[in-house]
């Protein structure tokens, strides 16, 4: 695999290989000296055209712990803010001899386009409302550590599906790994054409959260992306929480073994109650920790083979 642009790029065997390698990488976090020589001499550029704390930081740490030289470039303060095109920016960076480009961009499909322009390995760190494949990998990694093999497990993904790039990547990857998926959202936050996709791929969609809760192994709550909304998606925050929030009352309906996930950042009190975010079944901080291990694994598999 030359690039990681979509969760659809991953076969089941390749996905499991990345997840198994991430298990080994996770051990590095507990060492006194958090360094492996795997990518010594490699250069990775994190090229972020959107703000991010978790994703950029975890890619930076991942690269450095693998001994790569890591450079962070953000749109603010760069030539992009002066009007330079994406193509010119990418070709300028690539011409410096970099081995890997980690790209987050507000336009869906931008990393795939970049991959056609450069010889470096390209990792999609989130493109518009399209995909975020490493987030799906770290979500699956977290679920596997809590539940074991995901074959046959029931995962409910709940909330703002329309604006979430996490949904598509998770649907693709979890389906590849054999999980059963139910998407839960109000009608106004169901993506256009989702019914046809659900019929073709075999996942479920519903506007009712409560009937799904007792049957799930994983409840993944999505952030309500208020910054992408211009109004009209729901009447009030209270109305949304009553219908689709993981509240204290809903926690009682969740099976004891079930895992609570959230890709973050959270709107506490809106899509998830503090009780749910902080209780023992919550794997939210595990997801953050997993992000470094999974991204170490991805960089290793993309760049380590010819090191």
Rounded Cα distance, 275 and 173, in Å: 29
pLDDT of 176-226, one tens digit each? 999 999 999 999 999 889 999 999 999 999 999 999 999 999 999 998 875
Beta strand residue intervals within the chain, DSSP E: 43-48, 69-74, 100-105, 121-127, 154-158, 180-184, 204-206, 218-221, 259-261
Q: What is the pLDDT of residue 235?
A: 66
Reported as a single tens digit per residue, the pLDDT across 230-240 is 555 676 889 88
**What is the share, in percent, of the chain residues with pLDDT greater than 70?**
93
Give the range among 6-20, 153-167, 239-253, 293-307 with minimum mean pLDDT. Answer: 293-307
Q: Average pLDDT of the chain?
A: 92
Mean pLDDT, range 274-284, rounded to an integer: 96
Residue 78: pLDDT band (50, 70, 90) is low
User: 307 pLDDT band (50/70/90 cuts)?
Assistant: very low
CB of 123 closer than 8 Å to CB of 101: yes
Beta bridge pairs of residue 260: 219, 282
pLDDT of residue 80: 63
The answer on pLDDT for 305 being more than 70 is: no
Q: What is the CA 269 to chain-centroid distance, rounded? A: 22
Please give the full DSSP string across 111-147, using - where no structure is assigned.
Answer: HHHHHHH-SSEEEEEEETTTB-HHHHHHHHHHHHHHH
In 204-305, which residue ranges form alpha helices assigned H by DSSP? 237-244, 248-251, 274-278, 284-303
Predicted confidence (pLDDT) at residue 272 exceeds the cutoff of 90: yes
pLDDT digits (tens, 9 = 90+) for 12-40: 999 999 999 999 999 988 888 889 999 99
Say what the pLDDT of residue 228 is: 47
Contact 301, 21 (CB under 8 A): yes
């Amino acid at each position: 695999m030359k690039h990681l642009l979509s969760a659809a790029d991953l076969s089941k065997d390749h996905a499991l290989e990345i997840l198994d390698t991430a298990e080994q990488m996770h051990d590095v976090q507990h060492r006194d000296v958090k360094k492996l020589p795997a990518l010594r001499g490699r250069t990775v550029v994190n090229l972020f055209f959107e703000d991010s704390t978790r994703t950029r930081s975890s890619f930076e740490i991942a690269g450095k712990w693998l001994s790569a030289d890591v450079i962070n470039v953000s749109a603010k303060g760069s030539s992009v803010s002066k009007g330079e095109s994406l193509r010119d920016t990418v070709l300028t960076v690539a011409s410096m001899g970099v081995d890997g480009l980690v790209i987050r961009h507000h336009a869906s499909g931008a990393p795939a386009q970049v991959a056609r322009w450069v010889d470096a390995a390209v990792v999609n760190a989130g493109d518009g409302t399209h995909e975020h494949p490493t987030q799906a990998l770290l979500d699956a990694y977290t679920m596997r550590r809590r539940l074991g093999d995901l074959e046959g497990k029931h995962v409910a993904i709940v909330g703002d599906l329309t604006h979430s790039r996490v949904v598509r990547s998770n649907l693709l990857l979890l389906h590849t790994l054999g999980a059963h998926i139910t998407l839960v959202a109000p009608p106004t936050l169901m993506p256009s054409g989702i019914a046809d996709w659900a019929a073709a791929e075999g996942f479920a969609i519903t506007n009712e959260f409560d009937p799904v809760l007792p049957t799930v192994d994983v409840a993944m709550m999505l952030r309500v992306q208020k910054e992408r909304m211009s109004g009209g998606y729901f009447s009030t925050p209270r109305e949304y929480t009553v219908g689709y929030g993981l509240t204290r009352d809903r926690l009682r309906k969740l099976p004891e073994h079930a895992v609570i996930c959230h890709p973050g950042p959270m709107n506490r009190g809106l899509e998830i109650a503090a009780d749910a975010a902080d209780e023992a079944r919550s794997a939210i901080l595990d997801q953050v920790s997993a992000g470094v291990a999974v991204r170490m694994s991805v960089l290793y598999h993309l760049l380590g083979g010819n090191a």
